[in-house]
Structure 1
Amino acid sequence: MSLSNLIKRLQDIMRKDSGVDGDAQRLAQIVWLIFLKVYDYKEEEAELEDDYIPVIPEGYRWRDWAFGESVKTQMTGPDLLNFVNNELIPVLGGNAITKDGKQVIPFDKTDARSMLVKEVMGDATNYMKNGYLLRDVVNLFNEVDFEDSSEAHEFNDMYEGLLRGLQSAGTMGEFYTNRAITTFAIEKVDPQIDGVLADWAAGTGGFLISALEHMQKQVKPGDTEAQKKLQNAVRGGELKPLAYKLNVTNLLLHGIELPNIRYGDSLAEKNLGDFHGSDLVEYCALNPPYGGVALPEDIQSFPSDLRSSETADLFVALSVKRLKNGGRGVIVLPDGFLFGNDNAKVAIKKYLMKECNLHTIIRLPQSCFAPYTSIATNLLFFNKGESTQEVWFYRLDMPEGYKHFSKTKPMKREHFDCVREWWGNRTEIQDEKADEAMSVTYKAKKYTIDEIAGNNYNLDLCGYPTEDKVILSPEETMSNFVARREELDRIMDQKLVEIKALLEV
């Protein structure tokens, strides 16, 4: 079944149901259904091993209630609604239900795998009110056969398409980072399979999936030890319930048996100074929410000089603290962080450049995250363990033929090829000026820490050229005018000599 066909059929069915109101509820409904189907398939795979004990209790696995020996024996209508609302969702959330007049807890296990299921299903909601339409939705998912490798791959593609669709789904776009960006960023951070890469604002897992794909290339066929390392190679945290469920399901689809994603607020997990030992990682990559206002408990978790009201600022400090010495990181940040000059922003930039070598900043085109946001963003690359001495800036311009990125003309991986070429052979690149009165600007340039500190840590450098004019004094203006006129007279005299020679005058 093609991606477009499956999505269209799901939408057509759900639009008929009076309980599903809009894209947000439709997506939330789809997510927990996908999770249960994917999880049951992964359990069936694991059960091929003799010592594997299934996590989800019998009777509540996808195979137990979503199928039937025939259409006539499938649970449907009011019976299916009653089971889903009053048994399936409460049980898998770890809650008690009434059975034979008694309160029982069928799913009372507390191991890590069981707790993962409970966290995903704990606040799941069945929005559908028509049990027959719900059966139609379930049957659509039953058409996907994971044992068929081509269909499994197509389902992965469908899920990726679903995540891409978030970018145009209002505020849900914050969950998704363009794959062109995550691929390039991970390529330059270059995580190795012996380490762990973390994303403390993981969204739907874009950076984590790109990291897994990057590290998978390091695994040789038959290397079981490396495969085991890959299972623990990524970790993260996510506060929003829908994004968390999307993330966990995404990692399951990519072969991670027990996704290590903490459901909660990474900023308030501990006081900043209390992160040590196993809290630290070798690599980090994240696109934190920006424009958001930090919660009081978030702000209180940071030292007084680093207390910002903006979540993106706090995630910078958190990322630096939780990176091991010798570790490498990248973070997507808005322009506001670069040129912000309030006390907290300046203190966080000082902290970043004291603890890390902030070696490269890539200025991204403004519409990278359109239509979710038009805020201009940047990639900051840093290595922990040595202070910053100089920072290279490179401005990634809009590709030729593009006025802006859009759903039909998205940012592609090859758009970073010019950065890749420059990265290995760094040179300053000066912009061409439309006229001599314009300021000198750079597409790529290196600045020392002294220059940056002298500019009060304003990192708004190598931005897009503007029409700013150099303001000269009257004396300088007259002097330039005279010099320019003399130069033009000289050129005209030279041309007249050439014309006379041609005419043999």
Structure 2
Amino acid sequence: MSNLSGFVKSIRDIMRNDAGINGDAQRIEQIAWMLFLKVYDAKEQDWEMDEDDYISIIPDQFKWSNWAHDDGSGKAITGDELLDFVNIELFPALKNLEVNKETPIKKSIVKTTFEDANNYMKDGVLLRQVINVIDKLDLGDYEESHAFGEIYESILKELQSAGSSGEFYTPRAVTDFMAKMIEPKIGETMADFACGTGGFLTSWIKELENKIQTNEDRRKFDSSIYGIEKKQFPYMLCITNMLLHGIDIPRIEHDNSLLYDVLDYTDDDKFDVILMNPPYGGNEKSDVKNHFPSDLASSETADLFMSVIMYRLKENGRVAVILPDGFLFGTDNAKVSIKKKLLNEFNLHTIVRMPHSVFSPYTSITTNILFFDKTGKTKETWFYRLDMPEGYKNFSKTKPMKLEHFDPAIKWWNNREEISIDGFDKAKKYSKAELEEKNYNLDLCGYPHEEEEILPPKDLIKEYQEKRKSLNADIDRILGQISEILGFDFEEEE
């Protein structure tokens, strides 16, 4: 296709006329399953050339090139015939493919991808038009395939403004910065236990790809990533994303990381590097908490993922993880236990405080990047506040965060010094003992109050609830200390 930039627009314009498509999220989900089949078809053609005995898991009549391709002869199915084929034949066939434990990943992903997929379009003529636009992509052409990887990125970015689906997308500037700072090495394995559409996996791949020098390097590169995603839609997007980025055997599982006992993990379940942005703001049921030691069994999703990360990191492994402010200032029992474990068993060397609206419009909650490794206990932790770039009041769809906005942090990273501006700490080092004295409240080098943004009501209530919980925990702790000194139990006095 000569005009790749018009790809998304032309599909959007066609879909606007279809009564079955209701909003951006459905439109992107509709594009997703067709793109997956188109990309998978191109991959299969490569595999057939490379492997003499390659047999597709997809029956011939359901392969993209056999039903979707329009050769201009007028024989391509369209209208009601096409709708019936997709709804009555194609989807049931792909959803019911026979898969077992012996089925190779690159084949079993077809069934997993279609398990909960939907065809929303109701007009078979419009569906044919969309299929034709997608089919014109020449994924066999390296340049076009590479360029389409960027187009796919723009499709994923649109998820940010497609309601709740935005939770699966971390801005690329953030994932690229984290992958850059973690310094990937050939031969290392990297995991994301809530991988969404695969942003961290993509950034890792891009950073690591530059270091490939031999065929053995390429083999190690191909098997370096591992992801788990609970929800079907982002899982489908992630698999397609990995295939587009040259990962022929994407080790991506459609599963929930929180449903396994963390104490059961063996060395085979551990990774050299973990990069992730755990879902936060959610509350988990008690049956999920049962998979964690009682002192770490928080009801908050992000807290539980922190425990998963700690139990699944190899010796000398490295982590970069995004966590909300509530994790930093939280001093309730579970959060304190998690942070105690973090400082005593891991080296929490750096916390980068990120400006507000990085995840806008999905959430206005302010977030942070924690960098730690498993090389021994923490001796000191550096805090660095990344300020909003000059000329920006907020990040937005039209003014998103860019990798260059991290330049001050990258420059500081390699030449650390304490910085204070107008009486507020911008960069400062704290010893482990100092953090313990603060009862593990890591809310340090924060933003001056005049920069604070009025949050939407839902986020504001969430933040107040977290602060109240932490305040109550602090009050209880202090009352307990006073009671101990005075020799009575304050709980009995109430």
Question: What's the TM-score bracket when you normalise by the shorter of the two chains?
Answer: 0.7 to 0.9
Q: State the AA in 1 paired with 2:221.
A: L
Report the Cα distance in structure 2 between the residues aligned to 1:123 and 1:296, rounded to whole angstroms.
Answer: 27
Deviations along 1:377-422, one digit per CA (max 9) or x if unpaired, are 0000000131111110000011111112111211111111111111
Residue 129 (str. 1) matches residue 122 (str. 2):
yes
Summarize the alignment of residues 102-181 of structure 1 with structure 2, pairs less than 5 Å apart. Answer: 110-181=103-174
Q: Which residue of 2 aligns with 1:350?
A: 340
Q: Which residue of 1 aligns with 2:321?
A: 331
1:133 to 1:396, Cα distance in 2 relative to 1, 3 A: same
Residue 261 (str. 1) matches residue 252 (str. 2):
yes
User: Residue 72 of structure 1 aligns to a residue in which SS?
Assistant: coil
Q: State the AA in 2 paired with 1:276.
A: T
Q: Cα distance, 1:3 vs. partner?
A: 4.6
**Structure 1, 322-331 or 154-163: larger mean CA deviation:** 154-163
Q: Which residue of 2 aligns with 1:22?
A: 23
Contact 1:91 1:106 (8 Å CA) reproduced: no
Deviations along 1:301-329, one digit per CA (max 9) or x if unpaired, are 11111111111111111101100010000
Q: State the AA in 2 paired with 1:235.
A: Y
Contact 1:429 1:442 (8 Å CA) reproduced: yes
User: Bigger relative contact order, structure 1 or 2, given CA contacts below 8 A and separation 6+?
Assistant: 2
Q: Which residue of 2 aligns with 1:74?
A: 76
Contact 2:56 2:107 (8 Å CA) reproduced: no
Report the Cα distance in structure 1 between the residues aligned to 2:242 and 2:3, rounded to whole angstroms.
Answer: 22
The match for 1:206 among 194, 199, 204 is 199
**Structure 1, 127-136 or 456-465: larger mean CA deviation:** 127-136
Q: State the AA in 2 paired with 1:232.
A: S
1:274 to 1:145, Cα distance in 2 relative to 1, 3 A: same
The match for 2:220 among 229, 237, 255 is 229
User: Residue 48 of structure 1 aligns to a residue in which SS?
Assistant: helix
User: Residue 60 of structure 2 aligns to a residue in which SS?
Assistant: coil
Q: Which residue of 2 aligns with 1:471?
A: none
Q: Cα distance, 1:70 vs. partner?
A: 2.9
User: Residue 61 of structure 2 aligns to a residue in which SS?
Assistant: coil
Q: State the AA in 2 paired with 1:121.
A: F
1:276 to 1:68, Cα distance in 2 relative to 1, 3 A: same
Summarize the alignment of residues 41-56 of structure 1 with structure 2, pairs less than 5 Å apart. Answer: 41-49=42-50, 50-56=52-58
Contact 1:317 1:352 (8 Å CA) reproduced: no
Q: Cα distance, 1:467 vs. partner?
A: 6.9
Please say which structure displays the higher CA radius of gyration: 1
Residue 245 (str. 1) matches residue 236 (str. 2):
yes
Residue 316 (str. 1) matches residue 306 (str. 2):
yes
Q: Which residue of 1 aligns with 2:60?
A: 58
Q: Which residue of 2 aligns with 1:12?
A: 13
Q: State the AA in 2 paired with 1:47.
A: E
Q: Which residue of 2 aligns with 1:494?
A: none
Report the Cα distance in structure 2 between the residues aligned to 1:387 and 1:108, rounded to whole angstroms.
Answer: 40
Q: Which residue of 1 aligns with 2:95?
A: 93
User: Residue 227 of structure 2 aligns to a residue in which SS?
Assistant: strand
User: Residue 394 of structure 1 aligns to a residue in which SS?
Assistant: strand
1:59 to 1:355, Cα distance in 2 relative to 1, 3 A: same
1:27 to 1:302, Cα distance in 2 relative to 1, 3 A: same
User: Residue 258 of structure 1 aligns to a residue in which SS?
Assistant: coil
**Structure 1, 49-58 or 35-44: larger mean CA deviation:** 49-58
1:276 to 1:21, Cα distance in 2 relative to 1, 3 A: same
Percent identity, aligned pairs only? 50
Q: Cα distance, 1:466 vs. partner?
A: 3.3
Report the Cα distance in structure 2 between the residues aligned to 1:24 and 1:82, rounded to whole angstroms.
Answer: 23
TM-score (norm 2): 0.88
Q: Cα distance, 1:108 vs. partner?
A: 12
TM-score (norm 1): 0.86
Residue 397 (str. 1) matches residue 399 (str. 2):
no
1:455 to 1:153, Cα distance in 2 relative to 1, 3 A: same
Q: Which residue of 1 aligns with 2:446?
A: 463
Q: State the AA in 2 paired with 1:156.
A: G
Q: Which residue of 2 aligns with 1:477?
A: none
Q: Cα distance, 1:157 vs. partner?
A: 1.5
Contact 1:2 1:154 (8 Å CA) reproduced: no
Q: State the AA in 2 paired with 1:135.
A: R
Deviations along 1:54-73, one digit per CA (max 9) or x if unpaired, are 33221111011101443410
Report the Cα distance in structure 2 between the residues aligned to 1:180 and 1:416, rounded to whole angstroms.
Answer: 8
Query: May I ask how many residue pairs the two structures share in their alignment?
Result: 449
Residue 413 (str. 1) matches residue 406 (str. 2):
no
Q: State the AA in 2 paired with 1:59.
A: Q
| Residue segments in structure 1 that go unaligned for 5+ positions in a row | 96-104, 434-440, 469-505
The match for 1:447 among 430, 438, 457 is 430
Report the Cα distance in structure 1 between the residues aligned to 2:71 and 2:160, rounded to whole angstroms.
Answer: 40
Residue 370 (str. 1) matches residue 360 (str. 2):
yes
Q: State the AA in 1 paired with 2:448.
A: P
Q: Which residue of 2 aligns with 1:475?
A: none
User: Residue 74 of structure 2 aligns to a residue in which SS?
Assistant: helix
Q: Which residue of 2 aligns with 1:490?
A: none
Report the Cα distance in structure 1 between the residues aligned to 2:103 and 2:220, rounded to whole angstroms.
Answer: 24
How much is the aligned-residue C-alpha RMSD, in angstroms? 1.8
User: Residue 161 of structure 2 aligns to a residue in which SS?
Assistant: coil
Q: Cα distance, 1:4 vs. partner?
A: 4.5
**Structure 1, 123-132 or 446-455: larger mean CA deviation:** 123-132
Q: Cα distance, 1:109 vs. partner?
A: 8.6
Q: State the AA in 1 paired with 2:78.
A: T
Report the Cα distance in structure 2 between the residues aligned to 1:382 and 1:89, rounded to whole angstroms.
Answer: 45
Q: Cα distance, 1:112 vs. partner?
A: 2.7
Q: Which residue of 1 aligns with 2:32?
A: 31
